[in-house]
Amino acid sequence: MDFIHQDVSPYLQQYVSAVWASRGDQGGTKERIVPDGGSILIFNFGGSITSTLSDGSCRTWTSNIFAGLMTSYIDLTYQGRFEQVGIVFKPFGAFHLVNCPMSEFLNSIVALDLVDRYKFQQVFETMADTENLRQRLSIVNAWLEKTFAGKKIETFIPHVTSLLHDTEEISVSELADNIGKTQQHIGRSFNKYTGTNPKKLQRIFRFQKVLQTLSFRQRLPLTDTAYQFNYFDQPHFNNEVKSFSGLTPSQIIKQNILGNLRVIR
């Protein structure tokens, strides 16, 4: 499969984690996507995609899709030719694109036409007119630059998101004291801009760090990993990892499937 990505401009880096384009014969291939705190927009030029959520509900898509922040895994099964352009947004990055509270997309995948029937059509058709993947990336990056030009976000949102990512121990009350906002204001703002509350986002960030640790060649004992990331005990650690990935830490290591858990950052 051909897979390329392109660096986004410094301005877009505050909103977008990655932009990629791919093409290949992926019929019947299954991929598990685990929570990373962000949302994903996929322009689909290929075959159908069947999404299966952790609750067992499934749906098949033949069009462009948008997935909001997920708090558990999704299995994607590709049929026919695989041909996509994808945008991975930072936790608060997609708000100005969809122009409505991100909580409406929590744990949801929707057809892009339901987000806005016309906003995405022109860029999709322009990309469809070329088969050159790098040209598609140039087109979508230019479109993102135009779409986000002049957009503003409450300045404390990126700051708090960074604190949540870097510090497992920090509480919402400490965050409130740190930035001079009430806990209620922080909670409302995070539901609006990210789709979930700060504590849940912090847990997702911690889970991502656990995945990275489990991928190290010289792995720590699982008990040490649990305490390294401030889990209360081993059962709590196992249950949390399983709730996000569908697998316990030992299953992830034993089955050597980390490469099939998509972690895009």
* Pair 11, 137 in one domain: yes
| Domain around 40 | 2-148
CA distance 70 to 164: 17
Q: Which of 148, 169, 198 is the endpoint of a domain?
A: 148
Q: What is the pLDDT confidence band of residue 260, given thresholds at 50, 70 and 90?
A: very low
Q: With 50 as the cut, is the pLDDT of residue 148 above it? A: yes
According to the model, what pLDDT value does residue 215 have?
Answer: 74
What distance in Å separates the CA atoms of residue 182 and residue 171, rounded to the nearest whole number? 13
pLDDT the model gives residue 26 = 65
- Looking at the structure, tell me whether residues 165 and 118 fall in a common domain: no
| Residue 138 or 213, more confident | 138
The yes-or-no verdict on residue 225 having pLDDT over 70 is: yes
Among candidate residues 96, 113, 148, the one where a domain is terminated: 148
SS3 content of the chain, % helix, strand, coil (to 5): 45, 20, 35
pTM of the model: 0.91
Q: What is the CATH number of the domain that holds 181?
A: 1.10.10.60
pLDDT interval class at 117 (50, 70, 90) = confident
- Are 170 and 83 in the same domain? no
Q: Residue 217 pLDDT > 60, yes or no?
A: no
Q: Are residues 38 and 140 in the same domain?
A: yes
Query: How is the beta sheet containing 39-44 ordered, strand by strand?
Result: 2-5, 16-25, 81-89, 39-44, 65-67, 109-111
DSSP letters for 84-144: EEEEEE-TTTTHHHHTS-GGGGTT-EEEHHHH-TTTTHHHHHHHHT---HHHHHHHHHHHH
Evaluate whether residue 253 is within a structural domain. no
Residue 66's pLDDT band, with cuts at 50, 70 and 90, is very high
Identify which has the larger pLDDT, 254 or 81: 81
Kindly state whether residues 123 and 162 are assigned to the same domain. no
According to the model, what pLDDT value does residue 265 have? 31
Sheet holding 58-61, edge to edge: 58-61, 49-53, 74-78, 30-33, 261-262
Q: For residues 46-62, give the mean pLDDT.
A: 93
| Mean per-residue pLDDT over the chain, rounded | 90
Q: Is it the case that residue 139 has pLDDT exceeding 80?
A: yes
**Same structural domain, 197 and 84:** no
Is residue 254 in a domain? Answer: no
For residue 259, tell me if it sits in a domain: no
Domain tally, the chain = 2
Q: What is the mean pLDDT of residues 206-215?
A: 89
